[in-house]
Amino acid sequence: MTEQEKYDDIPGTTLFDAAKSRAGYHLNMFCMSLMDDANRKAFKADEAKYLDRFPMSPEQREAVLKRQWNRMLELGGNIYYTSKLGATDGLSFQNLAALMTGSTQESYAKMMIEGGRPITGNRSKSEWKNRG
């Protein structure tokens, strides 16, 4: 069993391992480039043209342009790097987490303040299927 397979049964879990790191290298370097103000301005002026600087896969490029946050992670993005894109869009890390969980920022914050998601149904896909 691979490391990823060990985590595949946990809902919402994407393992960032060496394979994901290699696959997402250019995506992550794009995100890190946004730490520079001139790069943020160039990206916001023409997103598609700016992305031409980075040899990302077509799927990664689409995920960036459509702001598909979970898809970026699936394609090798690191949450700490992709958050630079979120910050460029004026989103806090909490805003990103809410978007990634299909929630509003307010309901996400409330859920976290109240102790997070319930354990039931969030620990194992197979456990949930076997409940019947």
Are the C-beta atoms of residues 31 and 61 closer than 8 Å to each other? no
Give the 3-state secondary structure of residue 59: helix
Q: What is the pLDDT of residue 18?
A: 84
pLDDT at 4 (0 to 100): 60
What the block records as the tokens of 127 is 């456990």
Sketch the domain layout of the chain as residue ranges: 3-129
pTM of the model: 0.81
Tell me the chain's radius of gyration from C-alpha atoms: 17
Q: What is the pLDDT of residues 108-125, one digit of tens each?
A: 889 888 888 776 655 665
Which tens digits make up the pLDDT trace of 30-87?
999 999 999 999 999 999 999 999 999 999 999 999 999 999 999 999 999 999 999 9
pLDDT at 15: 76
The amino acid that residue 63 corresponds to is A
Task: Provide the pLDDT for residue 73.
Answer: 94
Task: Evaluate if residue 104 carries a pLDDT over 80.
Answer: yes
Residue of 9 and 30 predicted with greater confidence: 30
Task: Evaluate if residue 2 carries a pLDDT over 70.
Answer: no
Query: Where does residue 53 rank: exposed (0-12), middle (13-18), buried (19+ CB within 10 A)?
Result: middle
DSSP string, 62-131: HHHHTT-HHHHHHTT--HHHHHHHHHHTT--HHHHHHHHTT--HHHHHHHHHTTSS-STTSS-HHHHHTT
- Select 3-129's CATH number: 3.40.50.1580, 3.40.50.300, 1.10.700.10, 3.30.1490.190: 1.10.700.10
Instruction: Judge whether residue 131 has pLDDT over 70.
Output: no
